[in-house]
Amino acid sequence: MPILDEDKAFLDLAWKMYNEQATQARQHETLRSNISTILFTLAGTIVGLSEFRGTEATFSNVTIGGFLLLTGLFGILISSKLYERNRFHIERLKAYRRAIDDKLKQLGIQQLSPIGKLGDTEHSEKYPRLENVRLNVLWNRAFAFICLISLWLLIEPYKQQIIDFASSLQRT
């Protein structure tokens, strides 16, 4: 069965759109990685500076802890948004791939999906536990850890008062 020019044009356009969606999805992951690197570096610098400063000023701990908390919350927000944008482009990419497969099937040419499914099966066999771990969850937990460090910095100057208060509650 000869391939008509309109079928060639459709497949060419669909491949270009597929590649564009793959590029956009990759760009969002790269952006998330770069922003995360900057935010983790900033958080590490903030924690390091707080330790150099000592514990003499409560205001500094509140300021530093608050800034660190905002950094962690911003990290969770931006990471989640970039993950959402990545998934948007991945879903569009899948739609173009299905359209290409449908056109190939219509033309009597081997589809691409079975080839990809073989790779999926091999991957699942090699990484049965890690396959179910969502990368965006790991990113967000890393930023949540920054938030926990910030809470420690906020509470640390008041730890003796908190201990005394808890002790007084136990005596009554």
H helices of 54-171, in order, are: 58-106, 113-126, 135-155, 159-171
Contacts 24+ apart (CB under 8 A), 132-136: 136/79, 136/80, 136/83
Q: Give the pLDDT confidence score for residue 46 in this predicted structure.
A: 84
Q: What residue ranges do the domains of the chain occupy?
A: 5-171
Q: How far apart, in whole angstroms, are the C-alpha atoms of residue 146 and residue 115?
A: 42
Q: Which long-range contacts (CB under 8 A, 24 or more apart) does 28-31 make?
A: 28/82, 28/83, 28/85, 28/86, 28/89, 29/82, 29/86, 31/82
pLDDT at residue 55 in the model = 53
Helix (H, G, I), strand (E, B) or coil at 26: helix
Sign of the alpha-carbon torsion through 122, 126, 127, 129: positive
How does pLDDT run along the chain (172 residues), one tens digit per residue? 678 999 999 999 999 999 999 999 999 999 999 999 999 999 998 888 777 765 555 557 788 889 999 999 999 999 999 999 999 999 999 999 999 999 999 998 888 888 888 998 999 999 999 989 999 999 999 999 999 999 988 888 788 888 888 888 887 6
* pTM of the entire predicted model: 0.82
Up-side HSE of residue 132: CA atoms within 13 Å toward CB? 3
